[in-house]
Amino acid sequence: MPIIKNIVILTGAGVSAESGIDTFRSAGGLWEQHRVEDVATPEGFARDPDLVLRFYDMRRAAIQTKEPNAAHRALARLDAEWSGELLIVTQNVDDLHERAGARRVLHMHGEHLNAWCTACDVRSPWTAPLIDRPPCPACGTSALRPDVVWFGEMPYRMDDIYAALREADLFVSIGTSGAVYPAAGFVRGARDLGIPTLELNLERSQGSAWFDQTRLGPATELVPAWVDEVLGGA
Ligand code: APR
């Protein structure tokens, strides 16, 4: 087996499922009884800002009651002990990777615990509701929205992600359905670069065929076992 120095990991909702945070595609495409177009697009926000702000206020409050699970903790251990390059690219907007102790985390779809001011473009840490239109801590304007990437918006830091992928010796995808681009395309990008690819997921995902290896099971079992393997062989 070639020596692994640099690892890129992509995580999705499946990593947080066992912490009690619902995945997106488990309930027939509905997010807590809402259509995706209503609560996760700029058009939906323009149409009914109260609905969207309330929806994210609920989710922001909910994630603050959840705890990291064994999969988050294993990835944090890998981050602490891995001497090569490591990037945990997460599509999740919760902060469970960080609360488990991981540092090398990139939130490509933004973060629930940030508010983004559409007036001055500053992002501020935010744990409270937005429904009452609080002022931006930086400029004082009441123009805050959730700092979450909606459909039709560009995910964050794509250049950094592709730069990490180009240097990677292993690409691992954990708990994601492979349904949403550009993240769903990383595995093919990795393959084109000749990088070995591994999928850890509860069930076969839409992208499974692209991976060199797929392991099926709950993240809280698969991820700690894989991290032990990688650190043991380092
Ligand atoms: N362990 C491992 N995998 C799991 C577990 C678990 N305990 N529970 C569920 N899964 C898997 C499911 O089988 C599914 O393949 O996690 C995946 C979750 O898929 P989605 O709900 O589609 O979530 P995700 O892939 O993160 O969605 C991507 O879509 O709507 C957008 O912006 C949103 O970031 C999100 C993006």
pLDDT tens digits along 97-149:
999 999 999 999 999 999 999 999 999 999 999 999 999 999 999 999 999 99
Residue 109 is among the residues annotated as catalytic for this protein: yes
Kindly state the average pLDDT of the residues 143-165: 97
**pLDDT at 161 (0 to 100):** 98
Q: 85: which 2 tokens?
A: 């390059």
Does ligand 1 lie within 6 Å of residue 205's CB atom?
A: yes
Average model confidence (pLDDT) across the chain? 94
**Which range among 20-24, 50-54, 119-123, 179-183 shows the weakest confidence by mean pLDDT?**
20-24
Give the SS3 label for residue 139.
coil
Does ligand 1 lie within 6 Å of residue 62's CB atom?
A: no
**pLDDT at 45 (0 to 100):** 97
Tell me what percent of the residues of the chain surpass a pLDDT of 70.
Answer: 95
- Flag whether pLDDT at 208 surpasses 90: yes
- Flag whether pLDDT at 30 surpasses 70: no
Question: CA torsion 202→204→209→212, rounded to 10°?
Answer: 30
User: Of 211, 181, 207, 183, which is closest to residue 195 (Cα–Cα)?
Assistant: 211
Q: 51: which 2 tokens?
A: 């609905």
**Digit-coded pLDDT (tens) for 37-93:** 899 999 999 999 999 999 999 999 999 999 999 999 999 999 999 999 999 999 999
User: Of 92, 99, 93, 100, which is closest to residue 73 (Cα–Cα)?
Assistant: 100
**pLDDT at 37 (0 to 100):** 87
Query: What confidence category does residue 1 fall into, taking pLDDT thresholds of 50, 70 and 90?
Result: low
**pLDDT at 81 (0 to 100):** 98
**pLDDT at 181 (0 to 100):** 92
- Flag whether pLDDT at 34 surpasses 90: no
Nearest residue by C-alpha to atom 28 in ligand 1: 180
Does ligand 1 lie within 6 Å of residue 70's CB atom?
A: no
Give the SS3 label for residue 228.
helix
For residue 24, the CA-to-ligand 1 centroid distance in Å is: 6
